[in-house]
Amino acid sequence: MDKIKEMFGGHSGKTHDIPRQAEGRTDDIVDKGSEWAKDKTGGRYDDQIDRAAEEARKRTQGGDDGREG
């Protein structure tokens, strides 16, 4: 067990920064994905894509995992 603690001990403090680092990137990914989808559908489903992108942004902010109950 000490060997395992030793292996992971140096990384335990770094995990606290991961959510902060990913915060802005998720919005960028959603934006790129929605633009790609709009391009591929020729603008026919822009309203639906925008609603889905907005919902994705809401679910990735504040630690909400999107599950109810």
Domain boundaries, the chain: 19-61
Cβ neighbourhood burial of 62 (10 Å; 0-12, 13-18, 19+): exposed
pLDDT at 69: 42
Model confidence, pTM = 0.58
* pLDDT of residue 56 exceeding 60: yes
Which element (helix H / strand E) includes 34?
Answer: helix 18-41
- Over residues 39-66, the mean pLDDT reads 86
Task: For the chain, give the percent of residues with pLDDT over 70.
Answer: 57
Scan for tokens 């504040």, then name that residue: 62
> Residues 21-46: pLDDT tens digits?
666 788 889 999 999 999 999 999 99
